[in-house]
Amino acid sequence: MSRALISGLPAALAIFVMLAGGAIAQVRVNTILALSDAPDVNVLNVTLSALGIEDQEESELSGTVNAILTIDPGTDQVSEFTLSSGDLTATDMSFSLELGPISVADVDLSGIKATISTTLQGLVTPGSGQFDASLHQVTLYEGAITGSAITGEVDENFTESPVTGAGAGTGTVTLSRTAVEGNIVTYDVLVVLPLEFSNPLQDGVDVIVNSTVQMEGTIEVPLDPYLGWAELNGIPDAPFEEDHDGDGVPNGLLWALGYNVNDRPSLFTPDLFIPGQVDLIVTPGPVGIRAPVFVEGNFDQGGWTLLDPFLLLGFENPVPVGEDWPIVIFLSGDRNFVRLRVEKP
Ligand SMILES: [Ca+2]
């Protein structure tokens, strides 16, 4: 059975990479940003409210966050700002709730730790650098809440009762290009994220948080992501369209499919599990597709045309950036040719 299927495969399979003077591609980078210590920012204005009585105190927020930014070094614009984690601390606070001469509660908040993350992918409007602040949320997950109240002792903590809430309004990402050296552009990054939320701590007791979180850092972005990959992988002079190790897979395709220089992927693996149908499988590397991969067919030598997306699992042609599932190409038993094409960034 498997022998019969293999003999039904197209007579030849070609892998090509085409050069095109296209636009500079977007580059997705991981970076660490620090909360800045500029005045008036990264101050948590925390209001404790119980039985209709309020007290507001300030707490300094500091620490670092891990962020992912997608940048187009051709236009210096950002299209994504996603927070993956944060390691933040907030200074202690003492609240005193009073009703005229009567002390209702004296409560200390100490040892506060917080994290910050993005619920979905953090899309940014490229022209303005603005984003919806509610995509990001802050959680106070550690810290003691102790003291005395008219109703008795207070002994709570954020570990058991975390306080969480989202950003509010519009945030901004600002890039300033500070240097260009060879293939690398250096930027100063400044992110402003307004916060405003309330969270019930227990029946009748609310915590209201209001702040402007400001994060800063420096990032390096390769102008040409292929060249950046080649340099990092020790083949800085290897052309996009050539094949540095002679395994039949051109350097540019190896990069676009998400592999490292020394990987030897076997592309166009026949799928033997669906009888009566000829399928080919192309497996992306561990990081997924780095640049759009065009799957093209040439029937009866009539010229290369983009394959109907419905012949691909996922129904997208070109296969989009970030895809890490195998590319399955459904073919009929006719004699034809298939190739993968990638445009040089
Ligand atoms: Ca190769």
Could you give the C-alpha distances from 195 to 36, 85, 248, 286, 299, in angstroms and in order?
16, 17, 53, 36, 58
From ligand 1's centre to the CA of 254, what distance in Å? Answer: 7
CA 9 – ligand 1 centroid, Å: 23
Question: What is the model's pLDDT at position 179?
Answer: 94
Q: Can you give the residue ranges of every domain in the chain?
A: 2-23+225-341, 27-222
| pLDDT, mean of residues 49-70 | 92
CA of 218 relative to ligand 1 center, distance in Å: 34
The Å distance, Cα 343 to ligand 1 centre, comes to 17
Distance from residue 263's CA to the centre of ligand 1 (Å): 8
* Tens-digit pLDDT profile for residues 284-308: 998 788 889 999 988 777 789 999 9
> How far does the centroid of ligand 1 lie from the alpha carbon of residue 186, in Å?
31
Side-chain-side CA neighbours of residue 32 (13 Å): 6
pLDDT digits (tens, 9 = 90+) for 109-146: 999 999 999 988 899 999 999 999 999 999 999 999 89
Q: For residue 297, how far is its CA from the centre of ligand 1 (angstroms)?
A: 22
Span from the CA of 255 to the centroid of ligand 1 (angstroms): 10
- In the numeric block, the tokens 């399955």 are attached to 328
- How confident is residue 195, by pLDDT bands cut at 50, 70 and 90? very high
Contacts of 215 (CB under 8 A, 6+ apart): 33, 34, 35, 36, 65, 67, 189, 190, 191, 193
CA distances from 61 to 39, 40, 87, 207 (A): 12, 11, 10, 16
Contact 336, 13 (CB under 8 A): no
Rounded CA separation 250/243 (Å)? 4
Rounded distance from Cα 239 to ligand 1 centre (Å): 11
Residue from 49, 64, 18 nearest 296 by CA = 18
